[in-house]
Amino acid sequence: MLKTDKRTVAAMGEMISAIAHQWRQPLNNIGLSSQLMKDIYLGQPCEIDYMELFRNHTELVQYMSKTIDDFKNYFSVNKEKSEFSIVQQLITTIELTKPQLSSKGVETILHCTCGSHSFSYGKHYTESYCEMGKDIIIGFPSEFKQVVIIIISNASDAIMEYAGTDSSADRTIQIDVNVMADHISVDISNSGNNIPADIMPRIFEPYFTTKDEGKGTGLGLYMSKMIIEKSMNGKLTCRNTENGVCLNIHLPRIT
């Protein structure tokens, strides 16, 4: 009984820390958007429309509210999976994180390949859905979106640490979706520093972080791995690339 209670308390602690982690990015976005709205009110030039900022505020508040329900049900055995489009969830996440990333000069580009068909979405592209409709999986769309937010947030931090004040440095987060016969692969790559060989095996451990004290809980990637592998029967892995780091999400596809 005591062991069960300890596990329950530990799980609750992880859930609370994860909620704090999930809320940090939206709160930063709301703070930035509020400042931009003030600038517009004072007549300062701004590339973003006032109503777009208002819609962004509304979406972020709704997202934060839903996060409570999502994490409340995280350990429930009765939650139900549903069909959803990976591309649509990725695009929603890109839009949610855009204000915060834009303030750092970081851009997210999505490219999807499905057989002979492909499309891109981002600053210089307008297509926003998979015409083939083959990017459908069964799982938990909100939890999948939370995983992507965590990975994008970490990617942004890695890029900023590497780029510093160098305005010419590559600040792109590249998301590549490949639809295969029986699975869908999502690569999320950044142009930051490679992860040292002695640290790579530990990045998914709970409470392990390389960030300065107060800047990371060490739970983001751990929770992400639990969601993808335990809740959605997939695989979450990480590898160094020639230009940075790539996290891969591998999920079974509806055929």
Could you tell me the pLDDT band of residue 235, with boundaries at 50, 70 and 90?
very high
CA distance 128 to 52: 17
* Averaged pLDDT of the chain: 79
141-155: average pLDDT: 89
Could you tell me the pLDDT band of residue 204, with boundaries at 50, 70 and 90?
very high
Could you tell me the pLDDT band of residue 215, with boundaries at 50, 70 and 90?
low
Q: Where are the domains of the chain?
A: 2-252
Could you tell me the pLDDT band of residue 4, with boundaries at 50, 70 and 90?
very low
The burial class, CB within 10 Å (0-12 / 13-18 / 19+), for 5 is exposed
Question: In the block, which residue shows the tokens 């839009």?
Answer: 95
Contact predicate 170/193, CB 8 Å: no
CA distance 56 to 62: 10
- Lowest-pLDDT choice from 61-70, 82-91, 181-190: 61-70
% pLDDT > 70, the chain: 75
Q: What is the DSSP string of 101-134?
A: HHTTT-EEEEEEEETTEEEEEBTTB---S-TT--
What are the tens digits of pLDDT across the range 120-129? 777 555 555 5
Question: In the block, which residue shows the tokens 């900023």?
Answer: 160
Show the tokens assigned to 162: 């590497």
Q: What is the pLDDT of residue 6?
A: 47
CA distance 224 to 204: 8
158-182: average pLDDT: 88
% pLDDT > 90, the chain: 29
The burial class, CB within 10 Å (0-12 / 13-18 / 19+), for 189 is buried
96-113: average pLDDT: 85
CA distance 178 to 127: 17
Residue 188 confidence (pLDDT) above 90:
yes
Q: What is the pLDDT of residue 169?
A: 84
Q: Which of 35, 174, 188, 45 is nearest to 99 (CA)?
A: 35
Residue 202 confidence (pLDDT) above 90:
yes
Q: What is the pLDDT of residue 72?
A: 60
Tell me which fold the domain 2-252 belongs to.
Heat Shock Protein 90 (3.30.565)
117-121: average pLDDT: 72
